[in-house]
Structure 1
Amino acid sequence: MNRVLLCLILAFTTAAVKAQQLVAVTDSLSYLAMGDSYTVGRLMPLAQTFPFLLAAKLNSKGIKTSRPVIVAQNGWRTDELLKAIKDTSIKHTYDFVTLLIGVNNHYQRKPIEVYRTEFKQLLDSAIAYAKGNAIHVIVLSIPDWGATPFATGRNPPKIAAEIDAYNDINKELTKIAGANYINITSLTRDVADSPDIYAPDKLHYSGKMYGWWADKAAAIVKKMIN
């Protein structure tokens, strides 16, 4: 092959690859957040909720991220999140998905083995929405609501032990699936005496706490795209 022609072909190929990379970098990442009141950020403005803080932190790092799509509601258990997913008939896939669910299963005294079954179904759904790529799913552990001021006098040590049992399940299933896992439970205990981490109801959290969760999740998303 003529050397000049070969050089032109190589130059064109290189330019095409760079153009494809540029599109990949400049296109906004799509994000689905699945969960309950801790995903909704009860009593907090949208900008101070976990999903919106995560998107904001990624954008601030130059990782262009679209407005989060949220399938979550205050008080939802795993079965209610499953029903919502079915009812909304989500047809799109997303570049990454977060899943945080289970506190209401515990609070409402639902059988823990039901949680295992339904969490597995939700995790499978999250992976499917993440284009079948488990590494693009981030599971967050259940916060210890027993460490909040709301739980004063409600036997916090017993609540903590039961929350740990739920988290043993979601951590195990997440590991088996090959998805990412963030332990936020320890943090909710370590800073439990800090009044500025709580929403007005003293059960949910402020943007300060959600910001810490978002920092951890943003680090994982950054690794996903590198």
Structure 2
Amino acid sequence: MKYSTALFFLFSISFLLGCSAENNTVVPPKNYKYLALGDSYTYGQSVCETCRFPEQLKDSIHQYLNANDTFQIKMIAQTGWTTTNLKSAITAENPTSDYDLVTLLIGVNNQYQGKPFSLYEQEFPELVNQAIGFAKGDKKNLIVVSIPDYAYTPFGQGSMAISGGVYQYNAFAKSYCEANNITFINITDITRLGLLQPELVASDGLHPSTLAYSKFIERILPEVKIKLTD
């Protein structure tokens, strides 16, 4: 009887220690890498550096990550860039191919500068394919964001010509993404409230405000959460 009791005691101690070790397993931190490709709408023209949407995304996603995880941003974006400018900048920067997330928002300056639409039809798919390459070769890690409609700003003055042009670019991008099973997030309707809600427009009267970018994030964040935490 004493022998059986001793064995039971040793077994119980071993079981409890095993459970304790399992419950205290340290999860190694993950270092997420995010590449933001685009133009002034990614660069955040006329808002603070922490106010642009990639930075707001960084702040928002942390609530879904472990405490020791990191989220690093590399940005290849500048005000005034067309698809051609972005392609050239990518060649110069030569990003690595190990990004957990890539966003692409491009095309408004093609429209604004009156570039042939055929140029976008050629270069947008090229940029998408490059972005997939940077996203570990996995298109599930890519998010394409629609172009804001700057017609609905004091600069655009409600121009139907501008709005129609932006619509054409967005329709092509959306169609291409849907045909290729790439995540496309529409934020254009948010910017079409710019004349009714001036707080959605930055102080320059043209670009989205910090508030507008926060509304972009409300739509982008759920997709990013799925991509990073699944």
Instruction: Please classify the TM superposition score into its range, dividing by the shorter chain length.
Output: 0.7 to 0.9
Q: Which runs of 5+ in 2 are unaligned?
A: 1-17
Give the structure 2 partner of residue 113 of structure 1.
118
Q: Which of 204, 207, 213 is 1:204 aligned to?
A: 207
Larger Rg over CA atoms:
2
- The residue number in structure 2 matching 1:27 is 30
- Equivalent position amino acid for 1:59 in 2: H
Query: Compared with structure 1, are the counterparts of its residues 92 and 192 closer, same or farther at alpha carbon in structure 2 (3 Å cutoff)?
Result: same
Structural mapping, 1:143-154, within 5 Å: 143-152=148-157
User: In structure 1, how many angstroms separate the alpha carbons of the residues matched to 2:209 and 2:161?
Assistant: 25
- Alpha-carbon separation, structure 2, partners of 1:163 and 1:81: 18
- Please state how far the C-alpha of 1:190 moved relative to its aligned partner: 3.2
The Cα of 1:91 is off from its aligned counterpart by: 2.4
1:56 paired residue number: 59
Q: How many equivalent residue pairs?
A: 210
Match of 1:3 in 2: none
Q: Secondary structure at the match of 2:202?
A: coil
Q: How does 1:65-214 map to 2 (within 5 A)?
A: 65-152=70-157, 156-214=159-217
Distance change (3 Å), C-alpha of 1:135 and 1:192? farther
How many Å apart are 1:65 and its aligned residue?
A: 4.5
User: Hey, what's the Cα distance between the residues in 2 that align with 1:109 and 1:65?
Assistant: 41
TM-score, normalised relative to structure 2: 0.84
Backbone CA RMSD of aligned residues: 2.3
- 2:192 match: secondary structure: helix
3-state SS of 2:104 partner: strand
- Following TM superposition, by how much is the alpha carbon of 1:212 offset from its aligned partner in structure 2, in angstroms? 1.1
- 1-structure distance, mates of 2:189, 2:199: 17
| Separation in 2, partners of 1:182, 1:92 | 23
TM-score (norm 1): 0.86
Counterparts in 2 of 1:182 and 1:148: CA distance versus 1, 3 Å: same
Which aligned runs of 4 or more in structure 1 are off by greater than 2 angstroms? 60-65
Cα offsets for 1:135-156 (capped at 9, x unmatched): 110001111111111112xx61
Q: 1:133 deviation in Å?
A: 0.9
Deviation (angstroms), 1:162: 1.4
User: Is the contact between residue 55 and residue 65 of structure 1 (CA under 8 Å) also seen in structure 2?
Assistant: no
